[in-house]
Structure 1
Amino acid sequence: MVALKPILLAGLVHLHLHALRGLAWASSSPTPQQIVRDLQARLSPGSEIVLTSDPGYARDFTQRFAIATPPAYVVGVKPVAVSDVQAVVRYSASKNVPFLATGGGHGYTFSLGRLESGIELDMSNFHSIDIDPAANTLTVGGAVQIGNVTAALLAAGRELPVGQCATVGLTGLTMGGGVGPYGGIHGAASDSLLSAEFVTGTGDILNVSATRHADLFYGVKGAGFNYGVATRLTYRVYPLTNNGDVMVVNTQFPGPLNGSVWELASRFVGRQPKELTLDFSLRWNASSGGMVAWCSFYYVGPQAEGLRLIQPFLDLGPLNVEIHAARYDSISSVALYSAESVGTIRGISFVPYSVNLYAIDPPSLISLFNYMNATMTGRPDLQTATLAWAQFSTYGFQLFPVESSAFPYRDVAVFFQYDGFGFNASQIPALDKFGKNVRSLMRPGSGRTDLEVYVHFGHGDEGPAAWYSAAKLPRLNALKAVYDPKNLFSYYNPVQRGRYGH
């Protein structure tokens, strides 16, 4: 046999040792059954710990709304105390087992699909709601949903800026900033956050605020899911605007009028009243054989004032007009002809793409509309795709300095999103390809050279600079080194990519 050269022999030994280390790492990862046993020994007796293959998992645990690229769990854990959350975080760090905390079960970024063989940390037991009208504060558990909060606040004569979908978890919304109709008045949801009980990636339980761990508090308000799990949050709340009454006007415009709709919407940029929201949904209509524009207008003030503001839209001659007297907690139930219910269907495949618009360029939008209309004609697999348009006043967002929190986008004219709804898995590839093309057509008229996206609307391929802004990344990366040095929290549009070979 020909003798191996020393350098080649050394290389083979190196590769062999590397392979052995890989086998050792794999063998050190506990089986799902062992994870259950380990956590049963570490958590409070009232905590529920099951294999995801057990019937109890589907029955007792929060199931996801979006399933196009879901995280893959092998064990579900439902803790009853903050010390149990701490134990799960520490266990994950020591055993190389990934996990993700679940509140409402929303979140549709494709980055979640990188989590494999992990633990679902279901926060459902953290559902308390405590309102102090005298102090104008709201304290909630980490899994409280928006609809529960708005109903309780309305009964107490108070309000908080939140998103529109009632089933979204308030914690998740807040940790990404939190935009919605009342943002024009009070700013992002995170701007009203006063403090949070937080289990960090180092396994510590911290109470964070502007005066305690202020560096982390900055990160929690806009990028919080990168650093830990929020178990309790306290917010500043406000007396009801207009006694809680909201005018909602639903309209439908035929496709050929889309350019006129864009032109009128552009007139509000930089001068939109803080009480007014423009909420559009552009979708395929089988009856007309093409796209139509569903436009809803919310005005938190007297109906006569609201109608005067939107009269130019009404003068276009919409196909249909509905005027509703809604309340602070019921906007989503009537907006867009009650179409918000689509977003509350669990187990739907959802393909998102988004672009922040800082200007409204009617020619670009007309081209986009025409492209979608032509492409969807004769393509039933694409006809569930819609464009969502959320246009808020920037007044409330700009009450707070850019450096006050990790939330980066306070001057956005429109949060513009492609929503690819798939009712079976076979639609996903086509909807995904279509969405990429739509995003590429959105960008030229956005008013920015670089892609910028609200983190909760992200597809997952845009990157940290798009979600958090390049200017904020150095500070956010520095926080990771302190509060999550092992990158445990790295699956939801992360500041940094995670461990486990991803």
Structure 2
Amino acid sequence: MFRLRLEALVAVAALISASCADVLTRGLCSRDDPDVQALGSALSPTAEIYFPGSDEFEAATTRWSVLETPTVNVVVVPGTENDVVATVKYANKKRLPFLVYNGVHGAITTLGRMDSGVGISLGKLSSVKIAGDGNTATIGGGTFSKTVTDTLWAAGKQTVTGTCECVSYLGPALGGGHGWLQGHHGLVADQLVSARIVLADGTLKTIDANSDLWWAIGGAGHNFGIVTSVTTKIFDIEHRDWAIETLIFSGDKLEAVYQAANDLLADGTQSADLINWSYWLNIPDFDPDHPVIMFYIIQQGVTAVDPTYTSPFHAIGPLSIQPQAGTYTDLAGWTGIANTSPPCQNAGLVNPRFPIYLYEYNVAALRTAYDTYAEAIGGSSVFNASLFMFEGYPTEGVRAQGLESSAFAFRDRRLLAAPLITYSPLDAERDAEAARVGNQLRQILHDASGLQEFGVYVNYAYGDETPEQWYGSEEWRQDRLQGLKAKYDPSGKFSFFGPVA
């Protein structure tokens, strides 16, 4: 029998007593509602249902960013993929919207359009099962990236995952998915062999490259269904040794730092074993008045980063140099995105990002952006906990898949930049100012890029961008997405995360 969270019922009753027929509570006025009971009876013994007022509901619905968040009246925690089917059919019967919860790190403001529906939290669908031939693994839809990495590593295997430990494995994959190993193998989505997916009408299907829907899953997948599991390619560990050098520079060194960074990119031929990342952030111990530049040079297959790559940066005069050596499993901790790192905590903050893809670092534009950013987040600014992120992954494996191979449109871009404007929630005026700052910063970079198309990584998107900016502006791309949407989700059930229309 399903576990209905009875301890929440008193709180629910108080919440809805004034207007039980109101749209906010339709179909959920009582544990005795026959449709709720029917849903419970259809679920597996390990499934759970949470109502508002319970600690479990609060934990399941509290998001990493609290700007324009979805609102649900009930959370179903499936114990099996068939529980997902039952929940979707229940929501459709009640004419309620539904939304999958899988790490709650999606911060796109389009999620705020989800109002008064059913949350489907996939946390119990967490598993990693390696096939007997050692070439693939089946991964549950609720599995987190760290679980995938650690499980495979213990078996002498690895695959491309998102870089941040506290996000789900599949969330990034459905938007393409950047990762440390992409220079060798491509995006997270490029590794997928097949998927189990619940469609808008509650149908459960297995799809692979023979399905017309497969093209869309790898880049615009949030729009087409609930992926309950995937089978993905895995690989023998090629390099157990990894090394990083973390360098901190004062802002006046910006031009020299990013000219040296352009040399690392080597006109798009950056080694698949080499990654450069950087953050602009306030660290008062190094500079009490201006953001500093924290620059990472990461190399696999070594115990110390090759001086060929680090020496040009040493010559610039960093405030600090910190070399470290370890394994692939240390990368998230080194770069501040481990489970225990501050960016992974759901601390009740607003965390909008404003991403843009680039080909190279335009040094003059970076100076303008830095000065604008420093003014916006300096001193006692309410935005002083913000970051400006620059991710310079190797791209050989991504480009090798071909520009038309999936709905992910920006395989030829070499850099991903994104201001992350962090602040405590207050009012619409503060939200608008954060949006103004974030959009101004990426507009500066776009104007200097020489690119007509404004390319945005949908997994980082703010929400005011267009489908063309998320999924590519080519007419054939948009036509293909629209055709698939009309075929598989004509009623727009999956239209809350970066909708294609």
For normalisation by structure 2, the TM-score amounts to 0.88
For residues 76-104 of structure 1, give each alpha carbon's deviation from its aligned partner in whole angstroms, at most 9, with x where no partner exists: 10111222211222222332211111112
Q: 1:273 to 1:441 in 2, by over 3 A?
A: same
Q: Does 1:151 align with 2:150?
A: yes
Contact 2:291/2:378 (8 A) holds in 1: no
The corresponding residue for 1:264 is 260
Residue aligning to 2:73: 74
SS of aligned partner of 1:434 = helix
User: 1:171-207: CA deviations, max 9, x gaps?
Assistant: 1111111102211121100000011111011221110
Corresponding position of 1:461: 464
Question: What SS does the corresponding residue of 2:317 show, helix, strand or coil?
Answer: coil
1:132 deviates by 2.9
CA distance in 2, matches of 1:433, 1:231: 38
Is the contact made by 1:226 and 1:490 (CA closer than 8 Å) also made in structure 2?
Answer: yes
Match of 2:98 in 1: 99
8 A Cα contact 2:403 2:412, kept in partner: no
Range 399-408 or range 459-468, more displaced: 399-408
Deviating more after overlay: 447-456 vs 227-236:
447-456
Partner of 2:170: 171
Q: 1:226 touches 1:495 (CA, 8 Å); kept in 2?
A: yes
Displacement after TM superposition at 1:164 (Å): 1.3
- Residues 443-452 or 286-295, more deviating: 443-452
Deviation at 1:491, TM superposition (A): 0.4
Partner of 2:275: 277
Q: Establish whether residue 406 from structure 1 lines up as the match of residue 407 from structure 2.
A: yes
Letter of the aligned partner of 1:210 in structure 2?
A
2:384–2:422 Cα contact (<8 Å) kept: no
Structure 1 residue 239, shift from structure 2 partner: 1.5
The one-letter amino acid paired with 1:108 is: A
Moved more, 130-139 or 67-76: 130-139
1:480 aligned residue? 485
Partner in structure 1 of residue 17 of structure 2? none
Name the aligned partner's letter for residue 241 of structure 1.
Answer: E
Equivalences, count:
469
Aligned to 2:334: 334
The alignment partner of 1:272 has SS state of coil
CA contact (8 A) 2:23 2:116 kept: no
**Structure 2 residue aligned with 1:251:** 247
Aligned with 1:470 (options 452, 469, 473)? 473
Q: Which moved more, 1:323-332 or 1:434-443?
A: 434-443
Question: Do the aligned partners of 1:75 and 1:118 also contact (CA within 8 Å) in 2?
Answer: yes
- Equivalent in the alignment of 2:444: 441
Q: Which has the higher helix share?
A: 1
Q: Which amino acid aligns with 1:403?
A: E
Structure 2: 5+ residue stretches without partners: 1-20
Alignment match, 1:238: 235
**Residues 154, 45 of structure 1: CA spacing in aligned structure 2 closer, same or farther, 3 A cutoff?**
closer
Which residue is equivalent to 1:217?
A: 214
Q: How does 1:293-372 map to 2 (within 5 A)?
A: 293-303=293-303, 306-335=306-335, 341-346=341-346, 347-372=348-373
User: Which residue, 221, 225, 235 being the options, matches 1:228?
Assistant: 225
CA distance in 1, matches of 2:23, 2:167: 36
Q: Is the 8 A contact 1:127 1:141 kept in 2?
A: yes
Structure 1 residue 339 displacement after superposition: 11
Name the CA shift for 1:425/1:157 in 2 (closer, same or farther; >3 Å).
Answer: farther
Is the 1:278–1:295 contact (alpha carbons within 8 Å) kept by the matching residues of 2? yes
Distance 1:326 1:447, change over 3 A: farther
Q: Letter of the aligned partner of 1:443 in structure 2?
A: H
In the other structure, the counterpart of 1:18 is none
Provide the rounded CA distance (Å) in 2 between the counterparts of 1:404 and 1:390.
23
Change (3 A) 1:133 1:328: farther
Separation in 2 of the partners of 1:116 and 1:490? 12
Structure 1 residue runs of 5 or longer lacking an equivalent are 1-23, 497-502
Q: Which moved further from structure 2: 416-425 or 249-258?
A: 416-425
Asked if 1 retains the 8 angstrom alpha-carbon contact of 2:193 and 2:208, the reply is: yes
> Offset at 1:25?
11
Q: Contact conserved, 2:106 with 2:459, CA < 8 A, in 1?
A: yes
Query: Counterpart amino acid of 2:148?
Result: V
Name the residue aligned to 1:286: 284
User: Over residues 201-222 of structure 1, what are the superposed CA-to-partner deviations in whole Å (9 max), with x where a residue is unaligned?
Assistant: 12211101113xx211111111
Q: Deviations over 1:157-176 (max 9, x none)?
A: 11111221101100111111
Mark the CA change 1:96 to 1:338 in structure 2 (over 3 Å): closer, same or farther.
Answer: closer
Cα pair 1:53 1:74 within 8 Å, conserved: no
Bigger radius of gyration among the two: 1
Distance 2:339 2:291 in 1: 16
Task: Please list the CA deviations of residues 227-267 of structure 1 after superposition, one character each: whole Å capped at 9, or x if unmatched.
Answer: 1101111110111122x221111110011001111111122
- SS of residue paired to 2:220: helix
Whether the 8 Å contact between 1:351 and 1:428 is mirrored in structure 2 is no
- Pairwise CA distance, 1:364: 0.9
Contact kept, 8 Å, 1:68 with 1:425, in 2: the verdict is no
1:26 Cα deviation (Å)? Answer: 5.8
Amino acid at match of 2:215: Y
How far apart in 2 are the matches of 1:336 and 1:83? 37
Is the alpha carbon distance of 1:32 and 1:231 closer, same or farther for their aligned partners in structure 2, counting shifts above 3 Å? farther
RMSD: 2.3
Stretch moving more, 64-73 or 144-153: 64-73
Moved more, 455-464 or 49-58: 49-58
Query: Aligned equivalents of 1:337 and 1:52: distance in 2?
Result: 30
Q: Is the 2:165–2:332 contact (alpha carbons within 8 Å) kept by the matching residues of 1? A: yes
Q: Tell me the secondary structure at the aligned position of residue 322 of structure 1.
A: strand
State the one-letter code of the partner of 1:180. G
Q: Distance in 1 between matches of 2:388 and 2:455?
A: 17
Q: Is the deviation greater in 28-37 or in 216-225?
A: 28-37
Following the alignment from structure 1 to structure 2, what is the Cα–Cα distance between the partners of residues 182 and 468? 23
Distance (whole Å) between structure 1 residues aligned to residue 230 and residue 468 of structure 2: 27
Q: Paired residue for 1:493?
A: 498
Is contact 1:251-1:294 (8 Å) kept? yes
